[in-house]
Amino acid sequence: MERKPRQIRRKNRSANWIPAEKILLRKLVRPHLSIIENKRTDSETNQKKREAWNALCNSFNELSTIGIPRTVVNLKTQWCIMKMEQKRKRLAATWIIKRERPDTSTETLISIKQEKPDSSDETVLSEDLSIRKDVEVNSNRGPGPSQAALDYQMHNERKREELLNIQIKNEKTKMMILEHQLIYWKKRSSALDS
């Protein structure tokens, strides 16, 4: 028995899309966006989608200055590619923003909290750690920082401000103690001199 070699069907590639065509497609899709991006799949909605894509295809081919006719399938494919590229850009921008934020790891929080002389250190730290876990879970939901991440950032800023206020208060207290000691020693030395 002889085996016949398999015939590989290749996709027919159309000409590459130039930026002007992509801009034209974006402009033409805008008025039909509510129909094209509708999630429903009943027969009436599908019919409206087909009509919208056909009208869009006719308009695109009339207005295109390139002279390469595009089919509905070409337009749909390119529209999906453009949406994916936009989503990637948004996610990349979000990732860059997250990477540029100052380090708020638990080690940093622990080192900050250890400087605080208050007895409620452990409760404050446990609150910070529980909030941090919540942010790590919720920050992977989609583009842009989640509300929990923003809340956590605000919480962190308030805690840092509280810590700075406590440190300032401690420094003022130390200064007062030193002033009182200085006054005491001055009085004592003057009493010894006389």
Residue after which a domain boundary falls, among 34, 69, 100: 100
Q: How many domains does the chain have?
A: 2
Residue after which a domain boundary falls, among 42, 71, 100: 100
Encode the chain (194 residues) as per-residue pLDDT tens digits. 567 777 777 777 778 889 999 999 999 999 999 999 999 999 999 999 999 999 999 999 999 888 889 999 999 999 999 999 988 888 877 665 555 555 554 444 444 444 444 444 444 444 444 444 444 444 444 555 667 777 777 878 888 888 888 888 888 888 888 888 888 888 888 887 76
Q: Rounded to an integer, what distance in angstroms lies between the CA atom of residue 58 and that of residue 52?
A: 10
Residue after which a domain boundary falls, among 51, 74, 100: 100
Look up residue 31 and give its DSSP letter.
Answer: G
Same domain, 116 and 94: no
Buried b (16+ CB within 10 A) or exposed e, 153-187: eeebeebeeeeeeeeeeeeeeeeeeeeeeeeeeee
> 2 in a domain, yes or no?
no
Work out the end-to-end distance of the chain between its first and last CA atoms, rounded to an integer number of angstroms: 127
Is 149:101 a contact under the CB 8 Å cutoff? no
Residue 44 belongs to domain spanning: 19-100
> 1 in a domain, yes or no?
no
Same domain, 71 and 137: no
- Its pTM stands at 0.46
Cα Rg of the chain (Å, integer): 33
Q: Rounded to an integer, what distance in angstroms lies between the CA atom of residue 137 and that of residue 92?
A: 19
> 7 in a domain, yes or no?
no
